[in-house]
């Protein structure tokens, strides 16, 4: 092999260079660990942590990640990501395509609040580290956030008066902070933020699942983008379960509403024969020969 060949081979091998996986014939290493050592030794949640972070979770932190993932698995067919996966299944596509269809609607509005809430909590913490008091940091960041968006992510819910997933996660966070498994700064911030948002309100705006899981991810040191990625990973389980259930029913081309319910038409009404007016009057009329 010439030096030029070696250079070309090295360049090709560097094209997809990665610190995640090392694959050769008969060898699979993930983050440096032989796969045969990981199988049966490392639980799936710790494996997720290892793959995205490059190390294993500190004591007590894997349990928090697992709790956040469990809490976000499903929210029923009223969630667009679930409904669209079920509808897609009735169109005759496979499970993989149905799951991908559901995942693909998890955007900024449906699925992005966790990431946005981590960004919000980090902004408050950054203001405090810059010298602001807790109250000043809360007021400054909330006012700035509201100037750009009509709502604060992580608070309130369109369906639940109080999100039933909130308190169990907050309880686990409080316990983890007492045990020294997490720093507890973001737990303090999110509780102070909830109190600040509800000052003087007769109807409180409670923290929701996105606020609680965002606090978990912030305490565990996950970047905001990974907060969304982890939510997608969690919700994929619910999407898969619903898509699979739908395949067992044998229904075909099932739309978002029963056939007996038709959407209201709100456009203009045209009289019969009005379509002829669409054509320019000076155009020749075509006739068959």
Q: How confident is the model at residue 107 (pLDDT cuts 50, 70, 90)?
A: very high
Instruction: Give the domains, in start order, of the chain with CATH numbers.
Output: 17-56 (no CATH), 58-254 (1.10.230.10)
In terms of Cβ atoms closer than 10 Å to its own Cβ (0-12, 13-18, 19+), residue 38 is middle
The predicted model gives 95-122 an average pLDDT of 95
Which two three-digit tokens encode residue 192?
Answer: 């102070």
Instruction: Summarize the confidence of residues 13-38 as an average pLDDT.
Output: 96
Task: Quick: pLDDT tens for 127-160.
Answer: 999 999 999 999 999 999 999 988 899 997 777 6
pLDDT tens readout for residues 179-196: 999 999 999 999 999 999
Instruction: Using a pLDDT cut of 90, give the percent of the chain over it.
Output: 78
What pLDDT sits at residue 185?
98
What distance in Å separates the CA atoms of residue 61 and residue 183, rounded to the nearest whole number?
Answer: 11
Closest of 210, 277, 240 to residue 81, by C-alpha: 240
Copy the structure tokens of residue 280: 């320019």
Q: How far apart are CA 231 and CA 161, in angstroms?
A: 22
Q: Give residue 280's pLDDT.
A: 56
Cα–Cα dist 97/47, whole Å? 25
Angstrom distance (rounded) from CA 192 to CA 27: 50
In whole angstroms, give the CA distance from residue 92 to residue 253. 8
Q: Provide the whole-model pTM.
A: 0.89
The token pair that represents 5 in the structure block: 């060949």
């Amino acid at each position: 092999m010439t030096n030029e060949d070696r250079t070309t081979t090295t360049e090709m091998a560097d094209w997809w260079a990665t610190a995640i996986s090392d694959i050769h014939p008969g060898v699979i290493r993930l983050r440096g660990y032989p796969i045969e050592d990981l199988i049966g030794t490392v639980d799936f949640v710790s494996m997720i942590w290892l793959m995205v972070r490059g190390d294993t979770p500190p004591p007590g932190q894997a349990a928090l990640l697992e709790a956040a993932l469990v809490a976000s698995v499903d929210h029923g067919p009223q969630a667009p990501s679930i409904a669209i996966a079920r509808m897609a299944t009735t169109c005759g596509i496979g499970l993989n395509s149905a799951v991908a269809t559901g995942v693909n609607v998890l955007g900024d509005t449906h699925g992005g609040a966790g990431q946005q809430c981590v960004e919000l909590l980090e902004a408050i913490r950054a203001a405090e580290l810059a010298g602001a008091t807790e109250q000043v940091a809360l007021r400054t960041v909330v006012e700035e956030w509201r100037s750009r968006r009509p709502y604060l992510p992580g608070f309130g819910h369109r369906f639940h008066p109080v999100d039933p997933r909130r308190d169990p996660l907050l309880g686990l966070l409080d316990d983890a902070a007492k045990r020294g498994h997490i720093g507890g700064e973001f737990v303090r911030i999110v509780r102070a933020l909830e109190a600040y948002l509800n000052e003087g309100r007769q109807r409180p705006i409670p923290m929701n699942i996105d606020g609680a899981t965002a606090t978990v991810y912030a305490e565990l040191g996950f970047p905001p983008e990974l907060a969304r990625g982890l939510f997608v990973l969690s919700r994929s389980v619910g999407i898969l379960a619903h898509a699979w259930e739908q395949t067992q029913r044998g229904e075909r081309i099932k739309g978002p509403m029963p056939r007996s319910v038709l959407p209201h038409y709100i456009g203009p009404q045209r009289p019969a024969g009005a379509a002829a007016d669409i054509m320019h009057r000076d155009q020749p009329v075509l006739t068959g020969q």
